[in-house]
């Protein structure tokens, strides 16, 4: 294939990123926390993990790390538990602002949106996207609060728009065009590029690619056949030049939940209780989205740094929490636990939209199980989550709390 | 320090037709009245079919932060948490 030039198309893709999202929302909500080093951690205990830190904390090097490690860097850091409902609200308001400008708004995560202005009314009326970007910044301040800032990147494709949004944090607005690509790549390291992790960096280095400019100059054949050894190399070749390869949205393929165990244990009964609560959460999400599953997965991580994962597929569909739980416990029963369990992960896969029930001759009272599940879901919808729970979940109200999602925003 | 309170409190609130906002103005908690500053973040969520309204704001002197919840079913106010801005 002939090597391509850079994409000279007018930049029409905007990446809007609410950086340090959870931390900045907390600073907006509590003015006593502003201009201070704060971290939002999944659990506020020393082993809890910081999932977002304020700019003041980031400047000291506090990013994704354990609370105890962050306190070693800054003993005065303020650690807060996450407030998912508040972040979901911020996400919805953030989205509503962007939808004033065009209907082609795609959430990439709770704090990142792609806005496609191709063919939009704003562009047809002759508005400059940079002006639109500044208007969006102001609108977001009006609707979320004066302390909230966003980064905006504008470019011909999603990848470069994200690169542009990351150039000038925390309140930047940058445009990348074909003429400016070399200049931008010249300021960056390979791992500054979205999607380039340590593993990819090693691969690139082995092929004598050490900088984004080397990456850009690498011929397509080399990327496809020597570096990535798959079509991934071709996608990178296009992406770096500003051609769109990331616009396809993936369909939902699985649902899952995980839990970091506070009191590490080898007690199978205790593990089964955690699995029950995770099953209820996952089952509720599966049913709320109108799916049933044909496969389950159980993953356990242990205190000796090992992990085990087991999955199983079924011809019959899995719909109720009880069905999910009983399959997972069977997987647990055949696992040999080498040490205390510190983390539990469950998921359901091979999902399909709920169909009329196909009764099996050997399933006994399965129809009753489904009716019971629908009735308990209805009660929980009406009176709040975990109003009616299986007996195994008794006294577990505050265990496995609602978590903030990374990536997927389908539950918001 | 963030402290969970979860106590019912007396609240004076007002509604303005001008900016179409409902705002708590004063709370009475532990035999002390606190005049409140502007609402820094408001959101609501459904707890079952009941909507809960959350107001996060500081007192006028900016010495204490409050998280107040108004239950739309019974119109009771609960002081859920406070924070003094220190770790």
Largest CA distance in chain B: 39
Task: Give B28-50 pLDDT, tens digit per residue.
Answer: 999 999 999 999 999 999 888 88
Given a contact cutoff of 8 angstroms between Cβ atoms, the answer to whether A189 and A204 are in contact is no
φ/ψ of residue A28, rounded to 5: -65, -45
For Cα atoms A351, A194, A172, give the angle at the middle one, nearest 5 degrees.
120
What range defines the domain where residue A286 resides?
255-393
Q: In terms of residues, how long is chain B?
A: 87
In a domain, A412, yes or no: no
- Confidence (pLDDT) at A402: 60
Are both A153 and A13 inside the same structural domain?
Answer: yes
Other CB atoms within 10 Å distance of the CB of residue A226: 16
In a domain, A79, yes or no: yes
Q: What's the order of all strands across the beta sheet hosting A50-53? A: A50-53, A38-41, A78-80
- B25 contact A CB<8A: no
Domain boundaries, chain B: 2-14+27-83
In a domain, A41, yes or no: yes
8 Å CB contact of B83 and A33: yes
In a domain, A30, yes or no: yes
Rg (CA), chain B: 13
Are both A70 and A180 inside the same structural domain?
Answer: yes
- Confidence (pLDDT) at A1: 47
Chain A residue numbers with beta carbons less than 8 Å from the beta carbon of B43 are 85-86, 89-90
A112 is an active site residue: yes
CATH of the domain at A160: 3.30.70.270
pTM of the model: 0.80
Given a contact cutoff of 8 angstroms between Cβ atoms, the answer to whether A331 and A370 are in contact is no
Are both A76 and A14 inside the same structural domain?
Answer: yes
Nearest CA in chain B to A383: B48
For Cα atoms A10, A12, A15, give the angle at the middle one, nearest 5 degrees.
135
> Among residues A112, A125, A146, A226, which one is catalytic?
A112
User: Which residue carries 């044909």 as its tokens?
Assistant: A294
What DSSP element (H or E) covers A182? helix A181-187
In a domain, A338, yes or no: yes
Listed as ranges, residues in chain A with pLDDT below 70 are: 1-3, 250, 356-368, 392-412
Q: Using alpha carbons, list the distances in angstroms from residue A33 to A84, B24, B37, B59, B84.
A: 18, 21, 15, 14, 9
A263 Cα to chain B: minimum distance (Å): 23
Domain boundary at A169, A187, A205, which?
A187
Best mutation target, A23, A25, A31, to test chain B (most B CBs within 10 A): A31
Task: Give A203-239 pLDDT, tens digit per residue.
Answer: 999 999 999 999 999 999 999 999 999 999 999 999 9
Are both A11 and A132 inside the same structural domain?
Answer: yes
- Confidence (pLDDT) at A365: 56
CATH of the domain at A332: 3.30.1490.100
Are both A261 and A236 inside the same structural domain?
Answer: no
Are both A380 and A321 inside the same structural domain?
Answer: yes
- Residue A129 neighbours by CB under 8 Å, 6+ apart: A11, A12, A14, A117, A122, A123, A154, A175
For Cα atoms A74, A79, A83, give the angle at the middle one, nearest 5 degrees.
155
Are both A203 and A270 inside the same structural domain?
Answer: no
Are both A202 and A70 inside the same structural domain?
Answer: no
3-class secondary-structure state, position A327: helix
Are both A118 and A203 inside the same structural domain?
Answer: no
Q: Which member of B48, B50, B58 has the closest CB to residue A31? A: B58
- Reported ipTM: 0.95
* Listed residue (A14, A12, A16) closest to A151, CA to CA: A16
8 Å CB contact of B83 and A29: no
In a domain, A204, yes or no: yes
Q: Give the count of domains, chain A.
A: 3
In a domain, A410, yes or no: no
């Amino acid at each position: 294939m002939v090597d391509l030039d850079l994409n000279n198309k007018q930049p029409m893709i905007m990446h809007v990123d609410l950086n340090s999202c959870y931390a900045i929302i907390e600073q907006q909500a509590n003015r006593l926390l502003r201009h201070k080093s704060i971290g939002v951690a999944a659990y506020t205990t020393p082993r809890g993990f910081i999932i977002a830190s304020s700019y003041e904390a980031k400047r000291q090097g506090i990013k994704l790390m354990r609370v105890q490690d962050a306190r070693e860097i800054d003993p005065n850091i303020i650690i807060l538990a996450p407030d998912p409902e508040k972040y979901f609200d911020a996400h919805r308001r953030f989205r509503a602002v962007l939808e004033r400008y065009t209907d082609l708004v795609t959430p990439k995560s709770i704090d990142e949106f792609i806005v496609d202005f191709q063919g939009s009314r704003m562009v047809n009326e002759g508005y400059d996207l940079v002006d639109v970007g500044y208007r969006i910044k102001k609108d977001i301040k009006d609707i979320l609060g004066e302390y909230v800032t966003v980064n905006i990147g504008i470019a011909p494709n999603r990848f470069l728009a994200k690169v542009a949004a990351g150039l000038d944090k925390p309140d930047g607005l940058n445009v990348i065009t074909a003429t400016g690509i070399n200049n931008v790549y010249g300021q960056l390291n390979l791992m500054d590029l979205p999607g380039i992790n340590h593993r990819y960096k090693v691969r690139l280095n082995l092929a004598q690619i050490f900088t984004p400019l080397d990456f850009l100059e690498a011929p397509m054949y080399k990327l496809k056949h020597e570096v990535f050894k798959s079509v991934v190399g071709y996608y990178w070749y296009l992406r770096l030049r500003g051609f769109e390869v990331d616009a396809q949205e993936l369909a939902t393929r699985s649902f899952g939940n995980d839990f970091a165990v506070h009191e590490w244990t080898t007690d199978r009964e205790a593990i089964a209780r955690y699995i029950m609560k995770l099953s209820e959460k996952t089952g509720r999400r599966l049913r709320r989205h109108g799916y049933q599953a044909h496969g389950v997965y159980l993953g356990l991580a242990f205190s000796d740094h090992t992990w085990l994962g087991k999955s199983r597929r079924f011809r019959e569909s899995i719909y109720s929490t009880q069905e999910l739980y009983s399959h997972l416990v069977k997987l647990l029963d055949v696992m040999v636990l080498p040490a205390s369990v510190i983390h539990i992960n469950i998921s359901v896969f091979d999902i399909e939209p709920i169909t009329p029930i196909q009764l099996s001759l050997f399933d006994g009272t399965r129809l009753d199980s489904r009716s019971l599940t629908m009735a308990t879901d209805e009660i929980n919808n009406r009176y709040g989550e975990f109003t009616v729970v299986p007996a195994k979940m008794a006294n577990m109200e505050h265990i496995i709390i609602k978590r903030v999602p990374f990536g997927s925003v389908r539950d918001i | 320090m963030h402290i969970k309170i979860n106590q019912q409190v007396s609240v004076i609130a007002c509604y303005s037709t001008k900016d179409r906002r409902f705002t708590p103005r004063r709370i009475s908690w532990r035999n002390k009245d606190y005049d409140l500053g502007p609402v820094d973040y408001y959101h609501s969520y459904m707890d079952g079919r009941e909507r809960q309204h959350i107001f996060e704001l500081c007192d006028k002197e900016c010495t204490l932060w409050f998280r107040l919840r108004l239950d739309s079913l019974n119109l009771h106010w609960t002081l859920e948490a406070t924070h003094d801005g220190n770790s």
